[in-house]
C-alpha cells in the first residue's frame, strides 16, 4: 500500500501541474475530444485551473496515506480511496459551470444521476474494503475460539492438535477465496510448502501463530507482536483447560 500510495500521488501531482500550470487541457477527458465549436463556449482557463486544483487535492489525499501506513493505522488506504471518490463526484458536478453551450441544464441533470450512481457503487466497494481490511477479532468462549471476520469461523478446541509461535511465514502463491490488500491477507490461500490454508494475517512482521487442526492449518498474525502473542497465550490456556477437564 505504501508503494501504491506514492505512485498514485506522483501521478496526480504530475497531472495537476500539467493541467493547471502547463495548460495541457488535452489531458481533460471529454474536453480533448470535443469539437472546435463546442470548445469555443467552454471557459478553458477556468476549467484547467479547477481541474488542476482538484487533481492536486486527490494527490494530497494519497500523500496522507503514507504516514498512516508508517504508523500502522487501521484506515490506511481508505483515506486516499474515500478522498478520490468525494473529489471525483465534486469534479463531475462542479465542472459543469465552465460549460456555456446550449443544453447545459440537461447535461447537469445527467451529471447528478451519474454522480449518484457512481457514488453508490464506489461507497459499496469502499465499505467492503473497509470491513474486509479491519483487524480480525478473536473471542474465546467456553471450549471454542470464535474468529469474528468476513472469512471467520468458530474453532472448537478439541479440533486443535497443536499450536506454535513462529517468526516467519512462507510466501503465498495464490488466493483461493479471500481478501488480499497490501500486508492484509484473510481467507483461504495457497502457501508455498503448506498448500491451501486459512490466513488471518495483518502484517509482514512476525510472530505468527500456527494453529494445526484436522481440517487444515490456520496462520494468525495481528498488527502488533503483543496482540499476536496474546492470541497465542489464550489458545494455549484454553487447550490446557480442555485437557484438564478430560482428566
Per residue in 55-65, pLDDT (tens digit) is 899 899 888 87
Task: Give me the pLDDT at residue 109, please.
Answer: 47
Per residue in 89-128, pLDDT (tens digit) is 888 778 878 877 777 655 654 565 566 556 656 666 666 7
CA distances from 89 to 31, 82, 130, 145, 178 (A): 17, 11, 20, 43, 30
Task: Give me the pLDDT at residue 105, please.
Answer: 58
Cα angle 220, 225, 228; round to 5: 35
- Cβ neighbours for 95, distance < 8 A, ≥ 6 positions apart: 47, 50, 51
Look at the pTM and tell me if it is higher than 0.85: no
DSSP 171: P
Task: Give me the pLDDT at residue 80, please.
Answer: 77
The chain-wide mean pLDDT, for the chain, equals: 82
- Cβ neighbours for 102, distance < 8 A, ≥ 6 positions apart: none
Q: Residue 230's pLDDT band (boundaries 50, 70, 90)?
A: very high
C-alpha 40/C-alpha 22 separation (Å) is 20
Least confident of 23-27, 68-72, 142-146, 225-229: 68-72
- Cβ neighbours for 169, distance < 8 A, ≥ 6 positions apart: 191, 201, 206, 208, 219, 221
Task: Give me the pLDDT at residue 1, please.
Answer: 57
- The answer to whether residues 37 and 66 touch, using CB atoms and an 8 Å cutoff, is no
Per residue in 179-217, pLDDT (tens digit) is 887 788 999 999 988 899 999 998 888 899 999 998 889
pLDDT, mean of residues 58-74: 76
Tell me the torsion sign for CA atoms 182, 188, 192, 194.
Answer: positive
24 or 17, higher pLDDT: 17
49 or 38, higher pLDDT: 49
DSSP 108: H
pLDDT, mean of residues 174-182: 85
Per residue in 135-170, pLDDT (tens digit) is 899 999 888 999 998 888 899 988 999 999 999 998
CA atoms in the 13 A half-sphere facing the CB of 136 = 28
Amino acid at each position: 500500500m505504501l508503494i501504491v500510495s506514492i505512485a498514485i500521488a506522483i501521478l496526480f501531482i504530475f497531472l495537476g501541474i500539467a493541467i493547471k500550470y502547463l495548460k495541457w487541457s488535452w489531458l481533460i477527458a471529454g474536453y480533448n475530444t470535443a469539437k472546435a465549436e463546442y470548445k469555443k463556449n467552454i471557459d478553458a482557463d477556468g476549467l484547467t485551473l479547477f481541474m488542476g486544483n482538484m487533481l492536486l487535492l486527490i494527490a494530497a489525499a494519497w500523500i496522507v496515506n503514507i504516514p498512516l501506513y508508517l504508523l500502522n493505522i487501521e484506515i490506511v488506504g481508505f483515506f486516499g480511496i474515500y478522498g478520490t471518490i468525494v473529489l471525483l463526484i465534486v469534479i463531475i458536478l462542479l465542472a459543469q459551470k465552465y460549460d456555456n453551450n446550449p443544453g447545459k441544464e440537461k447535461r447537469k441533470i445527467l451529471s447528478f444521476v451519474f454522480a449518484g450512481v457512481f457514488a453508490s457503487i464506489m461507497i459499496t466497494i469502499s465499505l467492503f474494503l473497509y470491513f474486509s481490511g479491519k483487524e480480525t477479532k478473536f473471542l474465546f468462549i467456553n471450549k471454542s475460539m470464535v474468529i469474528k471476520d468476513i472469512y471467520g469461523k468458530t474453532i472448537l478446541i478439541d479440533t486443535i492438535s497443536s499450536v506454535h509461535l513462529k517468526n516467519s511465514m512462507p510466501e503465498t502463491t495464490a488466493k483461493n477465496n479471500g481478501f488480499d490488500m497490501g500486508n492484509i491477507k484473510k481467507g483461504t490461500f495457497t502457501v508455498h510448502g503448506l498448500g491451501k490454508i486459512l490466513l488471518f494475517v495483518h502484517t509482514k512482521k512476525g510472530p505468527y501463530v500456527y494453529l494445526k487442526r484436522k481440517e487444515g492449518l490456520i496462520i494468525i498474525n495481528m498488527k502488533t507482536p503483543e496482540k499476536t502473542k496474546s492470541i497465542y497465550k489464550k489458545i494455549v490456556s484454553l487447550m490446557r483447560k480442555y485437557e484438564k477437564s478430560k482428566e
